[in-house]
Amino acid sequence: MPVPPELFVAGMRLHAAGVTVVTTVHQGRPAGLTATSVCSVSAEPPQLLVCVNRAAEANAPIRASGRFCVNVLAADQHALADRFAGRLGHVGAERFEGADWSRLVTGAPVLEGCRAAFDCTLAVALEAGTHTVFVGLVEAVRVRPELAPLVYHEGEYGLVAQLPG
């Protein structure tokens, strides 16, 4: 018998995770969301996955466009994380206002000033419970390792600290 959803959520809140903004563009309209469920799938070929709630406004555009970019946020981008999470009331293209965007290979929006951007074409979409697991073939990567990462833990944003010695 599965555990109660509340217990599962309580346990997952204890898992610290990097914060990303996943973006796409379909028929000229950008869409995006904040996500922490992102991980590497394979280095050869380079693939990653992102889990997106089927009710999220970016889910259908990702599937329809066949492209997305995973933008790994830097420590100073927590307000942008809130914006794309819908916490500030922004929807659709409004979420993209106030930030600088560019493109790499697929045409999906790439956030300037993020730690890393993984520009992907959709390889697989798998339905799992309330979410779609999108597996992307990484077509281009941009990295800024000098920037500090933004993490999410127990419902709050935080920073990564190095352990002493």
Q: What is the pLDDT of residues 30-63, one digit of tens each?
A: 999 999 999 999 999 999 999 999 999 999 999 9
Residue 1 lies in a domain: no
- Is the pTM higher than 0.75? The answer reads yes
pLDDT surpasses 90 at 163: no
Write down the pLDDT at residue 165.
80
Q: What is the full DSSP assignment across 60-117?
A: HHHHHHTEEEEEEPBGGGHHHHHHHHTTTS--GGGGGTTS-EE--SS---EETT-SEE
Number of residues written out for the chain:
165
Number of domains comprising the chain = 1
Residue 3 lies in a domain: no
Residue 135 lies in a domain: yes
Q: Which domain covers residue 62, as residue numbers?
A: 15-154
Residue 7 lies in a domain: no
Q: Using an 8 Å Cβ cutoff, are 156 and 72 in contact?
A: no
Over residues 112-131, mean pLDDT: 97
pLDDT surpasses 80 at 15: yes
Burial class (CB in 10 A: 0-12, 13-18, 19+), 113: middle
Closest CA to 93 of 16, 24, 155: 24
Residue 8 lies in a domain: no
Q: Using an 8 Å Cβ cutoff, are 115 and 147 in contact?
A: yes
Residue 5 lies in a domain: no
Instruction: Return the residue matching tokens 């659709």.
Output: 92
